[in-house]
Amino acid sequence: MSAGNRISAGLLAWGLRGYTLLLFVFVFAPIFFSIVFSFNSARFPTIPLESFTLHWYETIWADPDVWVAVRNSVIVSICTSIIATLLGFCTAYTDYRFNFRFKSAYLALVLLPPTIPLIIMALAMLAWFSKFGASGQLWSIIIAHSVLTAPFAMAICRLRLNQMDKDLESAAWNLGASEWRGMREVIVPFCKPAIISSLFLTAAVSFDEFAIAWFVSGLNKTVPVLILEIVQGNIDPQVNAIGTFVFLVSMTLVIVAQIFFTLRQSKTFS
Amino acid sequence: MSNENTTAASGHPLFAWTLRLPIIIWQVLFFLGPLLFMVAMSFFLVKNYRMEEAFEFKNWQKMLTRGYFWDSYFLTLGLAALSTVVTSLVAFPAAFALAFKVSPAVRRWALFLLIIPFFTSYLVRIFSWYVILAESGVVNAILAHIGLGPYTMLNTKFGTLVGYMTLTLPLVVVLQTFSLANIDRNLVQAAFNLGCSPFRSVYAVIVPLAKTGLIVAALFCFILSFGDFVSPYYLGGSKPPTLPILIIDTTKSGQQWPRAAVVAVMMMITLITIAFAAITLAYRKRASR
């Protein structure tokens, strides 16, 4: 390879890295500006920035609607994450351990929901719950969110089970443990990091979901539904303050999930 | 079941079914049930603002003979297709860099960072773009410094596209990076040794090898863009509305749930067709030359 070629290859590599950096700027710009503007006094913020303020945080802090929405969101996320993780774990184990007829149909039934546009799920859920007089309840959001997030839980637990030595469970059975005891004392402890990771991740998805929640919630608004309604009115910098709060919550959940996810990879079963 | 040799593999039926059955019941009741009911609902009638169970083609007739439905349909299809092409092209150089030009540690961090936005509020990010792209927003303020603009970016297709990419770009980069990182490096090296130029090796060796992953990434991009209502509404101005906005308008204001169901079923049919075509294309063996 000639020197000129090597230089142009090097330039190309650096060009690609610079391009990738720009792409990250695009991805994180809205998050960054939302946080910056939440501390800015301008009603219609731009640069140069106006003065620093906590005003928007004070107004949302004093707003009882926000507190109700936060409470609703917390209830929905926690319940969703528990149900989804339980369902996802059982499915992951079933897929790991058993072969049976219609297994691919079974897996499709569990894994398909995230590929269906949320707005369609929202309409379907609204109609279905209304038919049984059950729309407008918090638990109808919980049910819908569990359907949506169970596949994520399944994927996380399934990846973990992939790393397990099949002989571990057989060893437990040979030593006289029942299948239930093997589940309790071998499988579940081995999957614990994945289960915790899945609890946090499904909670994060539920905490941010607005389409289904908006259709199904009725008067029991969650935080994203409240944001949606504020945004529909007009430009209101309060959204940046609520948004920053929402970002902090969901990023914390995702990062905690990720920490358990990587713990899982480094630590082997002992 | 002949392929299982011991009792250990098949398990006690009670144990197996206790783990298997709950999610089957759950998904039938709360996933399959709602979707099938929605299909049925598209044949229901609305009388005096009340829905009546029936089997009539009135809603279908009403929606499919209206010009505004088809305007929305082709607009949505076109926007989602545009988003898929643009996002795939914009993502590719970055995925290429992450797969081939950085260390594994950097790649891990980059993928981790790209996963974060997927789990954070899309709604708030779009609102943030609304402020950034406004007539007196950040982008125009920066452009004014170098003597350009102001440009109208809100209520345009450009705005919608920025919104779609906010939703899809991180996911597409992640999926593309995975598919590129998994291809056999020896083949790329062989092409290089045989005197293949870098650009030619990208389109003649790397892209065909990573084809399946690239198409799956594009398919996800299409599905997400096609079903999104936030970007076309807040950044695109919604004139004419896209199909998801049409569903919302019909459901929320008119109480015309059956007509909204017609739109939803049309969307499902379209998506299934496109997904089927994409998957066939993705797994098709390349014809020998």
Domains and CATH numbers, chain A: 63-266 (1.10.3720.10)
pLDDT the model gives residue B238:
82
Maximum Cα interatomic distance, chain A, rounded to a whole number of Å: 76
Tell me if chain B has a CB within 8 Å of the CB of A200. no
The answer to whether B37 and A128 are in contact (CB under 8 A) is: yes
Ranked by mean pLDDT, which of B21-25, B146-150, B264-268 comes out on top?
Answer: B264-268
pLDDT the model gives residue A12:
84
Q: What average pLDDT does chain B have?
A: 89
Residues whose CB is less than 8 angstroms from the CB of residue A97 and which lie 6 or more positions away in sequence, other chains included: B9, B11
Query: B115, A258: Cβ pair inside 8 Å?
Result: yes
pLDDT the model gives residue B261:
96
* Residue B194 is assigned to a structural domain of this protein: yes
pLDDT the model gives residue B9:
55
Average pLDDT of the segment spanning B9-22? 82
pLDDT the model gives residue A43:
77
pLDDT band for A10, please (50, 70, 90 cuts).
Answer: confident
Average pLDDT of the segment spanning A150-173? 90
Contacting residues of A for B38, CB less than 8 Å apart = 120, 123-124, 127-128
Give CA–CA dist A257/A204, Å, rounded.
Answer: 9
Give CA–CA dist B280/B42, Å, rounded.
Answer: 30
The DSSP line for B36-93 is HHHHHHTT-EEETTEEE----SHHHHHHHT-HHHHHHHHHHHHHHHHHHHHHHHHHHH
The interface predicted TM-score of the complex, written ipTM, equals 0.90
pLDDT band for B221, please (50, 70, 90 cuts).
Answer: very high
* Cis geometry, peptide bond prior to residue B232 (ω within 30 degrees of 0): no
Coil, helix or strand at residue B177: helix
* Residue B151 is assigned to a structural domain of this protein: yes
User: What's the domain range around B229?
Assistant: 66-283
pLDDT the model gives residue A170:
87
Average pLDDT of the segment spanning A238-246? 89
Which residue from A122, A153, A155, A150 is spatially nearest to A225, judged by alpha carbons? Answer: A122
Residue of A47, A94, A258 with shortest CB distance to B19: A94
Coil, helix or strand at residue B197: coil
Higher pLDDT, B93 or A270: B93
Average pLDDT of the segment spanning A35-59? 84
pLDDT the model gives residue B80:
97
pLDDT the model gives residue B4:
38
Task: Return the residue of A nearest to B53 by Cα.
Answer: A131
CA dihedral B11, B12, B13, B16 (to 10 degrees): -60
Q: How far is A14 from chain B (nearest CA, A)?
A: 9
Mutate to test the interface with B, among A23, A174, A221 (most CBs of B within 10 A): A23
CB pairs under 8 A between A and B: 243
Q: How many CB atoms lie within 10 A of CB B256?
A: 19
User: How far is the CA of B53 from the CAs of A35, A213, B32, in angstroms?
Assistant: 49, 25, 19
Tell me if chain B has a CB within 8 Å of the CB of A13. yes
* Residue B181 is assigned to a structural domain of this protein: yes
Q: Which amino acid is at B57?
A: F
pLDDT the model gives residue A270:
41
Give CA–CA dist B211/B94, Å, rounded.
Answer: 17
H/E segment holding residue B224: helix B211-227
Contacting residues of B for A143, CB less than 8 Å apart = 30
Give CA–CA dist B44/B47, Å, rounded.
Answer: 10
The answer to whether A258 and A198 are in contact (CB under 8 A) is: no
Q: What average pLDDT does chain A have?
A: 88
The DSSP line for B124-148 is HHHHHHHHHHSTTSHHHHHHHHTT-
- Domain count for chain B: 1
* Cis geometry, peptide bond prior to residue A113 (ω within 30 degrees of 0): no
Query: A146, B24: Cβ pair inside 8 Å?
Result: no
Query: B126, A30: Cβ pair inside 8 Å?
Result: yes
Mutate to test the interface with B, among A120, A184, A226, A232 (most CBs of B within 10 A): A120
β-strands B50-52, B45-47: how paired?
A: antiparallel
Mutate to test the interface with B, among A7, A60, A119 (most CBs of B within 10 A): A119
Task: Return the residue of B nearest to A210 by Cα.
Answer: B123
Least confident of A39-53, A189-203, A254-268, B102-116: A254-268
Average pLDDT of the segment spanning B185-214? 86
Give CA–CA dist B56/B281, Å, rounded.
Answer: 37
pLDDT band for A269, please (50, 70, 90 cuts).
Answer: very low
Query: B101, A17: Cβ pair inside 8 Å?
Result: yes
Query: A204, B264: Cβ pair inside 8 Å?
Result: no
* Residue B115 is assigned to a structural domain of this protein: yes
Higher pLDDT, B7 or A202: A202
pLDDT band for B2, please (50, 70, 90 cuts).
Answer: very low
Query: B16, A215: Cβ pair inside 8 Å?
Result: no
Interface of A with B in 29-88 (CB under 8 A): 29-31, 33-34, 37, 44-48, 87
The DSSP line for chain A is --HHHHHHHHHHHHHHHHHHHHHHHHHHHHHHHHHHHHTB--SS--SS---B--HHHHHHHT-HHHHHHHHHHHHHHHHHHHHHHHHHHHHHHHHHH---TTHHHHHHHHH-GGGS-HHHHHHHHHHHHHHTT-TT-HHHHHHHHHHHHHHHHHHHHHHHHHTS-HHHHHHHHHTT--HHHHIIIIIHHHHHHHHHHHHHHHHHHHHH--HHHHHHHTT---HHHHHHHHHHH---THHHHHHHHHHHHHHHHHHHHHHHHHHHHHPPP-
* Residue B21 is assigned to a structural domain of this protein: no
Average pLDDT of the segment spanning B137-157? 87
Q: How far is A83 from chain B (nearest CA, A)?
A: 10
Q: How far is A114 from chain B (nearest CA, A)?
A: 10
pLDDT above 80 (res B289): no
pLDDT band for A264, please (50, 70, 90 cuts).
Answer: low
Average pLDDT of the segment spanning A147-176? 90
Q: What is the CATH number of the domain that holds B71?
A: 1.10.3720.10
Residue of B9, B244, B257 with shortest CB distance to A119: B244
Query: A117, B26: Cβ pair inside 8 Å?
Result: no
On the 0-12 / 13-18 / 19+ scale of CB atoms within 10 A, B74 is exposed
Give CA–CA dist B124/A243, Å, rounded.
Answer: 6
Query: B116, A215: Cβ pair inside 8 Å?
Result: no
* Residue B14 is assigned to a structural domain of this protein: no
pLDDT the model gives residue B116:
86
pLDDT above 50 (res A84): yes
The answer to whether A239 and B127 are in contact (CB under 8 A) is: yes
Coil, helix or strand at residue B115: helix
Q: What percent of chain B has pLDDT over 90?
A: 54
Query: B268, A253: Cβ pair inside 8 Å?
Result: no
Residue of A30, A100, A173 with shortest CB distance to B166: A30
Maximum Cα interatomic distance, chain B, rounded to a whole number of Å: 77
pLDDT above 80 (res B5): no
Beta partners for residue B40, in sequence order: none
Task: Return the residue of A nearest to B221 by Cα.
Answer: A115
Task: Return the residue of A nearest to B132 by Cα.
Answer: A46
pLDDT per residue as tens digits for the range A102-121? 899 999 999 999 999 999 99
Query: A119, B12: Cβ pair inside 8 Å?
Result: no
On the 0-12 / 13-18 / 19+ scale of CB atoms within 10 A, B22 is middle
Higher pLDDT, B172 or A220: B172
